[in-house]
Amino acid sequence: MSLSPATRDPTRPETERSLDPEDWDAFAEVAHRAVDDAIELLRGLPERPVWTSPPSGVRERLSTGLPLEGRPLDEVYRDAARDILPYPTGNLHPRFWGWVMGTGTADGVVSAILQSAMNSAVGGFDDSGTLVEEQVLGWFREIFDLPSTASGSLVSGATAANIVATVVARNAMAGYDLRKEGLLERPGMRIYGSKETHGWIWRCVEMLGMGRDAFRAIPVDGDFRIRVDSLERAIAEDRAAGLHPICVIGNAGSVNTGSIDDLPTLADLCEREGIWFHVDGAFGGLVALSPMLKPRVRGMERADSIAFDLHKWGYLQYDIGCVMVRDGELHRETFEASATYLEPPGRGVQPGRLYLAHRGIQLSRSFRALRVWMALQTHGVRGIARAIEMNVRQAEALDERVRAQVNLELMAPTALNIVTFRYRPSSIAEMTEEEVDELNRELLHRIQEAGIAIPSSTTLDGRFVWRVANVNHRSTSADFDLLVTEMLARGRELEEER
């Protein structure tokens, strides 16, 4: 029996046109050109400036109105190759160290093509996407030493992962049926984390209807780690005031400085107090891949939930993060929903519940797992771990170079892969702190705009500082040499201009 209906021929009537190409060979030519161009982009990176601002002609062409009629793909592709491809953010370049942006990998381009062609909706259907996501989540259980009952979900990033974990924590710790009754007229639940906790927490408590007062930002010590004595006091105060402490967030790699909280002590405290222990390991969590670095995040394996990104220190293409919940039942109970149109018929493509679609906010989910699967198969845990170890060594080397230069100044201890520093003018004694801040701001702009390198900045103890967050598998020590050389030369220029 032929499954191909007679209408499946190139002379389909106008009224039954699909969006597929009429000429697959012509399509293949454009598609192959796209692959070649993508490869050239990656191969040519070291010769390119780290970043180029899109020129005015490009800006004009990228602000034209809604296209009503289509054009041939090869024409559209020519426009994309001219106006879009040459102007990436820059985070794929070996001298991009801003924020915490990952580089992506070459194999990621291959998995993106397969993912896109297959367009699987990964929810628990009888398909390869569900098998691969299960396999990948199993690998994460192993990496983080979680029990087989732990459950997880691939999401858009650590913000989503942290929020999903907080919803599970909140529902599990509320002490009543929160899904039914909501938050009204209940004693205020409280969440704790250091004041270095990433901004996702504010979005989270606001969105969950708990309000900003629900998060208590605890002071840090000189190494930017949560002060456990202050935390204990805050919990006791809140209990005495009739409030309900439900969750402590431990940072495994804080966003500003890479500091790692004392996770074993936080785990002990949570156990003692009956509080949910969540670890935000957005980038730092993945040091668990390296036997050499893993001791630094000891205690993470005791967490009730862990959030981490794969598009940062996992080096994968945007956007992908992951949440793991120790007690898979609690994860399920938090999000499970039923609808007649989702009931499993029991056989065929949907043999059971679409359980993967009930572990967070998204119902329809893409085949993100393929990216992880392909990267881990290609590089192995060891390959990724080696790159992470290299990034830590490079950060330590930069730290040493900064400390050896009279015109550079380290601004916080380098905990992992983040170096915070600034240019220290020779005439610093005659300058106000604001003037030093301003000089460093201007210097950073110049280095970025010259396309030399992209560090970002932050404020530490009220001072403007440069921040190099190294999650870049393409950086070499020569790239850091160039940063230091240019920073010193252009810093002197700026001083002379004063």
Ligand X SMILES: *Cc1c(COP(=O)(O)O)cnc(C)c1O
Positions that interact with ligand X (CB under 6 A): 100, 157-159, 198, 200, 253-255, 280, 282-283, 309, 321
Q: Which two tokens stand for residue 152?
A: 């997880």
Containing H/E element for 111? helix 106-118
How many C-beta atoms surround the C-beta of residue 439 within 10 A?
23
| DSSP conformational letter for 332 | H
Nearest residue relative to ligand X (C-beta): 157
Distance, in Å, from the CA atom of 202 to the CA atom of 249, rounded to the nearest integer, reads 13
| Cα–Cα nearest to 270, from 220, 304, 306 | 304
Min dist CB 162 to ligand X, Å, is 6
> Between 111 and 251, whose beta carbon lies closer to ligand X?
251
Min dist CB 191 to ligand X, Å, is 14
What are the distances in angstroms from CA 294 to CA 249, 271, 298, 473?
19, 22, 7, 19
> Between 129 and 157, whose beta carbon lies closer to ligand X?
157
Min dist CB 434 to ligand X, Å, is 28
Min dist CB 170 to ligand X, Å, is 18
Min dist CB 375 to ligand X, Å, is 17
How many C-beta atoms surround the C-beta of residue 294 within 10 A?
16
Distance, in Å, from the CA atom of 393 to the CA atom of 385, rounded to the nearest integer, reads 12
Min dist CB 227 to ligand X, Å, is 18
Residue 184 CB burial class (10 angstroms; 0-12, 13-18, ≥19): exposed
Q: Which two tokens stand for residue 123?
A: 């929810």
> Between 261 and 280, whose beta carbon lies closer to ligand X?
280
Min dist CB 282 to ligand X, Å, is 3
Min dist CB 159 to ligand X, Å, is 3
Q: Which two tokens stand for residue 189?
A: 């639940």
| DSSP conformational letter for 246 | E
> Between 137 and 165, whose beta carbon lies closer to ligand X?
165
- 366: helix, coil or strand? coil
Distance from first CA to last CA of the chain, Å, rounded?
84
> Between 160 and 374, whose beta carbon lies closer to ligand X?
160
| Cα–Cα nearest to 183, from 162, 206, 201 | 206
> Between 164 and 174, whose beta carbon lies closer to ligand X?
164
What are the φ and ψ backbone dihedral angles of 278, each rounded to 5 degrees?
-110, 140
> Between 248 and 452, whose beta carbon lies closer to ligand X?
248
Min dist CB 463 to ligand X, Å, is 21
Q: Which two tokens stand for residue 461?
A: 């103890």
> Between 255 and 275, whose beta carbon lies closer to ligand X?
255
Distance, in Å, from the CA atom of 157 to the CA atom of 320, rounded to the nearest integer, reads 5
- 439: helix, coil or strand? helix
Min dist CB 2 to ligand X, Å, is 48
| Cα–Cα nearest to 328, from 134, 156, 179, 178 | 134
> Between 210 and 316, whose beta carbon lies closer to ligand X?
316
Residue ranges with strand state E in 300-391: 305-309, 321-325
> Between 255 and 267, whose beta carbon lies closer to ligand X?
255
Min dist CB 186 to ligand X, Å, is 28
> Between 137 and 155, whose beta carbon lies closer to ligand X?
155
Sole residue written with tokens 């940072």? 251
3-state helix, strand, coil in the chain (%, to 5): 45, 15, 40
Q: Are 305 and 360 in contact (CB under 8 A)?
A: no
> Between 261 and 409, whose beta carbon lies closer to ligand X?
261
Min dist CB 161 to ligand X, Å, is 8
Beta bridge partners of 247: 191, 276
What are the distances in angstroms from CA 256 to CA 403, 412, 414?
19, 9, 10
Distance, in Å, from the CA atom of 454 to the CA atom of 424, rounded to the nearest integer, reads 19
> Between 250 and 425, whose beta carbon lies closer to ligand X?
250
Min dist CB 300 to ligand X, Å, is 13
Distance, in Å, from the CA atom of 121 to the CA atom of 383, rounded to the nearest integer, reads 30
